Structures are given as structure tokens and as C-alpha cells.
Structure 1
Amino acid sequence: MTYTTLVSAATLAANLDNPNWRIFDCRFSLADSAAGFESYRSGHIPGAVYADLNQDLSSPVQPYTGRHPLPNFDSLAEKLGKWGVNNRSQVVVYDDAGGAFAGRMWWLLRSMGHTQVAVLDGGYGQWRKQGLPTTTALPKIGASAFRAYLDNRQWLSASQVETGLASRSIILVDARTPERFLGKSEPIDPVAGHVPGAVNRPLQSNLDRNGLFLATDQLRQQFTDLTSPFPAERVVHMCGSGVTACHNLLAMEIAGLGGSKLYAGSWSEWIRNRNRGVASR
């Protein structure tokens, strides 16, 4: 059996010794870029390799990009091979933020043609809650070969978003908190507000009180209510920098609403051009 959206802690635990499974720790803090790796070194799921949002899952920031530009996919494919991933591997990614960062790696792999990738439901917290094993030992993994089949139709540029909104051919869903979306608070980016015409779906809405994803039917109903009458293929997700937006994209896939896209540059790229509109209500 393969997993393409979520995997439970119990299922991952049962496959820790499965040679076809590869695990990645994606813990990260926007406030302290070293915190994720420090947490990893203090304890992680056995066999997990650390994938850094800045160093591995993004490329360097440029004058007109957002805070986390898409990585160089050739370089990422090479890294995946060095990390033991091949085109038949079952990949599992996790973090300690409900999937907010692990979702980025999930989406990147899917965009590279690798659908056998799943987010650990409940993340590291659920793993610890169930009393499952952790280690501080770094994994010893033999290199493999990973070939990417990149599909650049999975994301939109700022100009494509502008055109889509102007023609009313897309609906733009922003995963940031309501406070940031409405411009009441902006702790990260220099301009507050949101893209005119966007709707708000905070990623936290996808999780229950235990930090697990909501049931499929709940997610389907909520996203259908939010994005109707647009079909899933016309839904575009954004956030602050194209990272946490992947959480909503994942939630739609869980709900059986496949085909939505990512505005990769998101808010931090949008505001680089002063000619682009900004709304605050």
C-alpha cells in the first residue's frame, strides 16, 4: 500500500525498518532558522533525515522574490538521491507545527512527479504522545538515484494570479491567520493586508483539537462552501511565502478535491511590486 496524503503514527512505526520508506524531519521556526535543526539533534524519529526549509526546500531570496522562493529542482533531486530516495520510495514528512512546514516538502515532491509522499498526521507531537521511539543518532543511509519529472503547471506566478483574478477564472485562498489577512497584525512582512479578491482559510482550520486533520467529509464540505462555484482545478493557494499554503492544498487533496495550485511567491512576493493592489478588509 502506498500513502499519498497522510500516514498515521502507528503505520509509520510499523514501517520504521521498511527499506523502501524514507522519513524527513521538516521542523522549522520562522523566528529562529536554527531552531528546527536544534530540535532534530535533540531527538527525532529513527531514520529521519533533516530537511531545512531555507537550505534545502527553498532557493536564495532575490530582489523581486518572496521569502521562500522555490528551490532549484535539479539540486533538490540530487539531494533526495543522496538521502536515499528513489522513484519507488515511500516518503514520509513531519514537523511539530501540524504539517505547516512538512506540507512544503510534500508539495515539492508531488510537483517533481513523486506521489508516494505523505505527511505524518499529528506530526512529532502525536508520535511522542503515543510513546513511540525517538533517537539522537544520525541515520546512516546509502545514496540512491532520484529522477524528477517536474510539472511546472502546479504553481502560478504573480502575473498569472493577477490575470486569473482579473478574468475571474481563479479563486485565491490565503492560509494566513485572520489578523494577518485583514492587515491588523503583520509580524513578518513589511506590508500588511491581502491580495484584493482573495478569501481567507487559516491552515489551523484544517485540524482538530488534537492537531490531526479533520475527517475527509468535513474538509470537503468546508472547502466546497468556501470556493464554490470554482472547481478544484481553479483554486489557487497562497500564504506569506508559499510554505504554509501547501497545508490547504494538502487538505483539499485529503478531501478528494484534487488539482488545486500554489501561488509560490505569495504575499511576500506580491508586495515587492508597489503597483499590485493591497486590501485590508
Structure 2
Amino acid sequence: MSDDPKTLVSTAWLAAHLKDPDLRVLDASMYLPGTDRDARAEYDAAHIPGARFFDIDEISDLRSDLPHMAPPPEKFMSRMRAMGVGDGHQVVVYDGAGLFSAARVWWLFRLMGHRDVAVLDGGFPKWQAEGHPTEDMPPVIKDRHLTARFQNHLVRDVTQVSQASKLGSVQIVDARAPGRFRGDAPEPRPGLRAGHIPGARNVHYEALLNDDSTMKSPADTRALFQEAGVDLAKPIITSCGSGVTAAILGLALTRMGHDSWSLYDGSWTEWGMFPTVPVATGDA
């Protein structure tokens, strides 16, 4: 792969830059209920040297009933300052699944106006498998101011997504597994209807990844979007279960040179709960 400090970097790139003074590494691991993994405990036991733990559920809008919605800019700025992450830093985000939740934090930084942020390709499993160093010590933190400039065009709410679904002017792409998209498989969160947003196309995020959780090439990911019937000439809204794996689609789109996309933050947790918006089932 070609390393790009604004999208995706390899374990070799990170190993070479690990001691750069303006590099900040974030462990953004999170796991769905039922996986029996504790992201914070795993971080405390072993992490990439110097990494800070980014708690996706806490660094969120806790006023919302929906899980881990994007935080207000003031909260993001204050949390990053306390973690010693600020203006002028190159940020690299990884997770313990390989490539799962790290893309969500990559998107959050972009939402707050920061583009010098990349996901670690293959994440912590690849880093460990290659024998790179880990530590169990907390990093030494020095405050650093972070300026947030909220980018409204990178996020969408239920009203905007409903309009896009009706008008068809924007393509909606759902990252969930095909069974959940079709409505055949149950939703992991109780109380949600089964199916998908009318007019949406399905590109399961796992299809974009190789066996070692590295991301497939831009040419290969482009082919997968096209095979799913996605019109890449249109703007795109990415969606998923709760706004996490939708960011993996956004990462793939950005690497393909498709910058006209936004993320539906509430995703199916919101849409599937709303009785007044329509739900489609089947393949399309």
C-alpha cells in the first residue's frame, strides 16, 4: 500500500515514525455488546508505545439517547487537550479488531476540521503479529491546544437522510452485513425494526478488508461499490448500525478520491427506532 498520513498508514510507516515529536497515537478500540472484550482493560495491558486511549462512548454527546453520537466541538477540544493532542500533530488511530472503530475517530477528527489523521492499516493485531513493541505504561501527557472548526457537510441527521432517500439525489450506502440490510437477521440492539433505508445500497464493511484486516486497494474497493450498484458520480451518505463502520466506507471513498460524502451519525439505531420513517426489506 502507499502510505497516506491523511487516510491510511502501514505498520512499517508507524514503526519508522513512532518517535517523531509531533506524532500522536490513539487506541480507539471499542467492541459491540456480546463480544466479551473490554477495550480499556486491553489497552491497560498492552498498547503501542505512547498511545492514548480514546473512549468513543465517553467522548460523545452524552445528551443524546443514541450511542456515541459526535460530541460538541467544545467537549472534543477539551478531551483532546487533556490527552495532549493538539494543533500541528499528526494523529494515527488504531483499534484492537484490526480495522473497525478506528475509522470512526478518523472521521471525528475530520468533522472537527483536522485532516492530518490516519488509520493504522491492520491495527493492533498486525502490529503485534509483526513483533513491534508494546507497553503497559500510561503516556506522559503535556497539554496542547486543539482548535476545532466543525465541518457540517461531513455529518447528516435523520431529516436530511429522509430527504435524500425520497429524492434520490444522494446515494445512501449501508455498511451492515447483508442479512441485517435485507431484514433477514435480527438487529443486535432491541426494539429496532429490521431492514434498510429505502433506496440504500449495501456494501458490507468487511468486504473492503483483506483477511488480515488491512484495507483492499482503492481499485478493488471501487469495484465493490460499483458491483453493489452505488453511483459514484453522486454524493454519498454512509450509514451502518450506530455510525461506527459507516466511517470505514468513508475512509475507502476518500482513498478512492471520492470526497463528496457524509456520515449518518444516528444510523440504523435511530432510523430503525423511528416509527414515522419507512423501512425497506430485501436486496434493494
Settle same-fold status: TM greater than 0.5. yes
Q: Does 1:155 align with 2:155?
A: yes
The answer as to 2:266 corresponding to 1:258 is no
CA-atom RMSD, angstroms? Answer: 1.8
Aligned-partner residue type, residue 81 of structure 1: R
User: How far is the alpha carbon of 1:280 from its aligned partner?
Assistant: 2.1
Q: Report the equivalent of 1:235.
A: 236
Per the alignment, residue 75 of structure 2 pairs with 75
Query: Which residue is 1:5 aligned to?
Result: 7
Superposition pairs for residues 133-144 of structure 1, below 5 Å?
A: 133-144=133-144
Do the aligned partners of 1:68 and 1:265 also contact (CA within 8 Å) in 2? no
- 2:71 is the alignment partner of 1:49: no
- Between the aligned partners of 1:257 and 1:237, the Cα distance in structure 2 is 12
Q: Which runs of 5+ in 2 are unaligned?
A: none
What is the CA distance between 1:22 and its match in structure 2? 0.2
Give the drift of 1:97. 2.2
Give aligned pairs, total. Answer: 277
Q: Compared with structure 1, are the counterparts of its residues 267 and 20 closer, same or farther at alpha carbon in structure 2 (3 Å cutoff)?
A: same
1:27 is paired with a residue of what secondary structure? coil
**CA 1:230–1:218: 2 relative to 1, 3 Å:** closer
The residue aligned with 1:146 is 146
Q: Does 1:171 align with 2:171?
A: yes
Amino acid at match of 2:253: M
Alignment correspondent of 1:108? 108
Amino acid at match of 2:80: L
- 1:272 maps onto 2:277 in alignment: no
Looking at structure 2, the residues matched to 132 and 203 of structure 1 have their Cα atoms a distance apart, in angstroms, of 27
Question: What's the CA shift for 1:271?
Answer: 2.4
Q: Secondary structure at the match of 1:118?
A: strand
Contact persistence 1:2–1:90 (CA under 8 A): no
Give the aligned partner of residue 40 of structure 1. 43
The CA deviation string for residues 66-121 of structure 1, in whole angstroms up to 9 with x for no partner, is: 33322122111111122222221000000022322111110010111110000000
Contact 2:58 2:68 in 1 (8 A): no
5+ residue gaps, structure 1, are none
Aligned mates of 2:231, 2:46 — CA distance in 1: 46
Query: Are the equivalent residues in 2 in contact too, given 1:84–1:143 (CA < 8 A)?
Result: yes
Whether contact under 8 Å (1:98, 1:211) holds in the other structure is yes
The structural deviation recorded for 1:226 is: 3.6
Quote the offset at 1:2 in angstroms: 6.6
Matches of residues 192-207 of structure 1 in structure 2 within 5 Å? 192-207=194-209
State the TM-score, normalizing by the size of structure 2: 0.92
CA-to-aligned-CA distance 1:140-173 (integer Å, 9 cap, x gap) = 1211110011111111111111111211111111
Shift of residue 228, structure 1, vs aligned partner: 4.6
Distance of aligned partners of 1:97 and 1:248 in 2 relative to their CA distance in 1, 3 Å threshold: same
User: Deviation at 1:230?
Assistant: 4.6
Paired residues of 1:174 and 1:238 also in contact (CA < 8 A)? yes
TM-score (norm 1): 0.93
Q: 3-state DSSP class of the match of 1:128?
A: helix
Structure 1 residues 222-231 or 170-179, which shifts more? Answer: 222-231
Distance 1:252 1:170, change over 3 A: same
227 and 19 in structure 1: CA distance in 2 versus 1, 3 angstrom threshold? farther
Percent sequence identity is 36
Residue 61 of structure 1: how far off its partner (Å)? 5.9
